[in-house]
Amino acid sequence: MLNPQLPTTPEQDREAACAEEHEQRQMTSPEARREHINERLPLLPPHLHPISPTPAPQQPPILEHFIQGGDRLRELEQQLRREVEEREQQVRREAEVVLAQHREQQVQDILQYQHRLQEEAQQLAREQAIEVQRLAQEDQQRREIEVERQRVAQEQLQMRLEEERVRYRQQQEEQRLRNEEQEARYRMQQQEQRLREQHLQRQAAIVQQELELQERLEEQAEAERLAEINRMMEEWRVEQQENLDFDEPNQVLDEDLDNHFEQNLDQLEREPENENGENEENQDNQNEQNEDEYEHDEEAQPPPPPQAPSPSPPPLPPHNPRDLPPACRPFNEADIEPDYLGPMNVICSHCNALHFDCEKLAASTVNRPRFGVCCLQGQIRLEPFHPLNPNEALAQYMTRQRPQWQEFYEDIRRYNAAFAMISVGVKLDASVLRGTGAYCFKIQGELHHLAGALLPLEGQTPKYAQIYTAQ
C-alpha cells in the first residue's frame, strides 16, 4: 500500500491498485492468500496466540485417543476459523479505514493539485498576457523600426536618384562639351588639312611651273644650239665648196660632213659632266685628232668643221627635295628599302586562312595564334560553297524560260541597285544634317560593305541580304 503521509497522484494510485489486483490473481490457493494476508497484518496480541500445548495425558486407549484427537482437531479448526474470520473482519475494517483515509488524502491531494494547477494556470495566463503584451510591444517597435528604415531607405533612394540626375546632367553637359570640342577640333583639323592641301597645291604648282619653265628653257637652248650648229655647218659647207674645184673631193666632203654632224649631235645630247677646263681640253684633243685624221687623207680633203660650243649645265631646282612633301619629291628607286613580312604560312585555327605572322592579334600565344581580318576569331562562319559553272547558271537566267528567270532578266538593274546602300560600313559625318535643306550623305574615310554569306546556315532563317538570295 501507499504511504498515506505522502501525497500521490491519481496515476500512481491507479498503478498501485492494478499491481495489487495482479498479485491477488496470481495467488490461487487459499493458503497462499492467507499467508499473504498474514504477512500484511500486524502481529496478534499475546492472548490471541495459540495456547501452548498441555502436558501429554496418560496414555488412553487407542479408540479414546483417536476420538479425543478428532475433537481436539475440530475445536482447533473451529477456533482457527473464528480467528481467521475475526482477523479478516479486522483487516477489512482496517483496510476500509485506511482506504477512507487514503481516499480523503487523495481527495485533499487532488484538491491541492487542482488548486496548484489553477494557480499555475493563472500564473501561466498572467505570464502569457505579459508575453503577449511584450510581443505586441516588440511587434510595434519592429513595425516602427521597419517604417523608419523604409523612410530612411526611401530618402536615400531619393538622394541617390537626385545624385544620379545631377550626375546624368553633368555627363550630358560633359558629353556636349566633348562633342563641341571634338567638332571644333574636327573643324580645325579640316581647316588645317585644307590649308595643308592648298599649301601643297601651291608648292606643286610652283614646282610644276619651274619644271615647265626649265623644260621651255632647255627646249629653247636646244633649238638655239641646233640652229647655231646648222648655221655653222652651212657656212663651213659653203666655204669648203668654194675652195674645191673637182667632184670627188666634194663626195668625200659630204661624207665627212655627215660624220662630223652626227658626232656633234651625240656630244650635244649628252649632259656635260666636266668643268669648263675639261671641256676645252676635250675640244683640243678632238681638234688634234681631227687634224691627224685629215693628214692621212688625200691632200684635197678640207679641214674639219669647227666644234660647237658646249651647252650650259641645267639650272638647279629652286627648292631642296627634302623640304618638299613626300608626294612631290623626285622618285629614286635606289632609296627604297623592301619590306619583307616573311612567308604567309600561319594558319587561322577557325577558318584555315593563311596569314603573315605579323598580322596576329595581341592576345595570341605561341601555339595558338589569333586573327581578326579573316573571320573575327570564329564569329563569321561561311559554309563551303560549291557553285555550278557560272556560265551555265547565267545562261539559265538569260534564257527567260521560267517566270523567275524572266523577272530576273527584266529587273536585274533593280536587284543590283537594291544592294547599293545596305550593310554600309562608313564613318558618317552628321554635322551637315543639322541644318535645313536636302539630305546630304557626307562620309570620312573609306566606304565598304559588310558582306556575309549568301545563304543562311542550316536551321536558321534568312536575314538581311539572304532574303533576296533565298527567294
Binned at pLDDT 50, 70 and 90, residue 356 comes out as very high
Taking the C-alpha atoms of residue 306 and residue 284, their distance in angstroms, rounded to an integer, is 11
**Residues 195, 196, 198, 199, CA torsion sign:** positive
Q: How far is CA 219 from CA 8, 211, 346, 465, in A?
A: 150, 12, 57, 61
Average pLDDT over residues 152-180: 87
Q: Which residue's C-alpha cell is 677646263?
A: 277
* Identity of the highest mean pLDDT range in 95-104, 106-115, 119-128: 119-128
Q: What is the pLDDT of residues 184-232, one digit of tens each?
A: 888 888 888 888 888 888 888 888 888 888 888 888 888 888 888 878 8
**What residue type is assigned to position 337 of the chain?**
E
Helix (H) or strand (E) holding 214: helix 62-243
Chain-centre distance of CA 409, in angstroms?
A: 47
Q: What is the pLDDT of residues 50-104, one digit of tens each?
A: 444 455 445 455 666 666 667 777 788 888 888 888 888 888 888 888 888 888 8
Q: Give the cell for residue 179.
A: 562633342
3-state secondary structure of 465: coil
Q: What is the pLDDT of residues 412-460, one digit of tens each?
A: 888 777 777 667 778 888 777 776 778 888 888 887 777 777 777 788 8
- Whole-model pTM? 0.23
The predicted structure's pLDDT at residue 355:
92
Taking the C-alpha atoms of residue 348 and residue 368, their distance in angstroms, rounded to an integer, is 9
What is the DSSP pairing of strand 354-355 with strand 346-347? antiparallel
Taking the C-alpha atoms of residue 380 and residue 375, their distance in angstroms, rounded to an integer, is 5
Q: Is the model's pLDDT at 252 over the cut of 50?
A: no
Higher local confidence (pLDDT), 62 or 247 = 62
Binned at pLDDT 50, 70 and 90, residue 322 comes out as low
First-last CA distance in the chain: 109
Q: Is the model's pLDDT at 375 over the cut of 70?
A: yes
What is the DSSP pairing of strand 424-428 with strand 443-449? antiparallel
